[in-house]
Amino acid sequence: MMKVIGIGFGRTGTTSLKAALELIGYGPCYHMFDIVEEPGRIGTWIDAAEGRPVDWDRTFQGFASAVDFPVAAFWRELTAYYPDAKVILTVRDPASWYESATKTIFKKALRARTLPARIGFKLVSRIAPDLGAFVKMTDVAIMRRVFDGRVADRDHALAVYGSHIEQVAAEVPPERLLVYDVAEGWEPLCAFLGAAVPEEPFPRGNDARTFDREEKERVRRLMARRR
C-alpha cells in the first residue's frame, strides 16, 4: 500500500528522500532508478502520458513510497488514487534547481534537438529498444508533459517549477502535505510522518558529478539489454 508520495521535481533532493524514507520504514521507495533496473516498467509511463489506462496498484506493487520523476509528473492522478498517502513536495532554490537540472536530467533533452542526435536516436532504438523506450518515456512523460518540451527556455522552466509548487499547495490539504527542503534534515520529515529520528546522518547523494557517472552506467545497462 502506498503510504508516501514524493511529488517534487527531479533534482530537488529526491534521491536523498528515497534513502531517508527507506531508513525510517517507508521502503521500498519507487524512483526513476527502478525503471532503469526493470525496463518493463517503462511502458506504464508512456501509457499514462499518452492517455491510456494504467493499473497504479500493479505499478507500485511491493512499494510503500514513491518519489522523483516520472511520479511527480502525475501527482494529481496519484494523490487522488491514493487518498490516504502522505504527500511530500521537495523544494530548493529555483535558480539552483535549474542549474542542476541543466547539468543532469535536462542534458540529453537539450542535446536531442540536434539533427545528429535525432538520427542517432533512431539507430539506437533499433539496436537497443529498451534505451529507445526509456528516452521516449522521459520525453513524453516528463519533458513534454511537464515542460512542454521547453527545458532550454530558462524562464519557462522556472515558471513551471514555481507553478508546480503553487498548484500543489493550493490543491493538497495542508494536513496531508509537507513542503520540504532536504537540507532541513530528519526533524521535519520524521515529525510529519510520526517516525523516530534515526541516529545516522541524513542521507546525501546524487550530486551532478555522481549523476553523470551513474547515468553513463545506466545507459550502458540499457544498451546491454538487446531483445
Number of domains in the chain: 1
Confidence at residue 142, expressed as pLDDT on a 0 to 100 scale: 96
Task: Find the DSSP H helices in 50-185.
Answer: 56-59, 75-81, 94-103, 107-111, 115-127, 129-138, 145-147, 154-171
Would you call the peptide bond into 83 cis, given omega within 30 degrees of 0 as the criterion?
no
Place of cell 550502458: 220
Confidence at residue 111, expressed as pLDDT on a 0 to 100 scale: 62
Instruction: Tell me the CATH number at 23.
Output: 3.40.50.300
Give the sheet arrangement for strand 29-30, strand by strand: 29-30, 65-66, 4-6, 86-90, 177-180
Domain that holds residue 132: 4-224
Q: Count of CB atoms within 10 A of residue 30's CB? A: 23
3-state secondary structure (DSSP) of residue 10: coil
3-state secondary structure (DSSP) of residue 87: strand
Mean pLDDT in consecutive groups of 10 residues from the start of the chain, 227 residues: 97 96 98 92 97 98 98 98 98 97 84 56 64 89 96 96 98 98 98 97 75 58 54
Confidence at residue 65, expressed as pLDDT on a 0 to 100 scale: 98
The HSE-up count of residue 205 (CA atoms within 13 Å, CB side) is 12
What is the model's pTM? 0.88
Confidence at residue 4, expressed as pLDDT on a 0 to 100 scale: 98
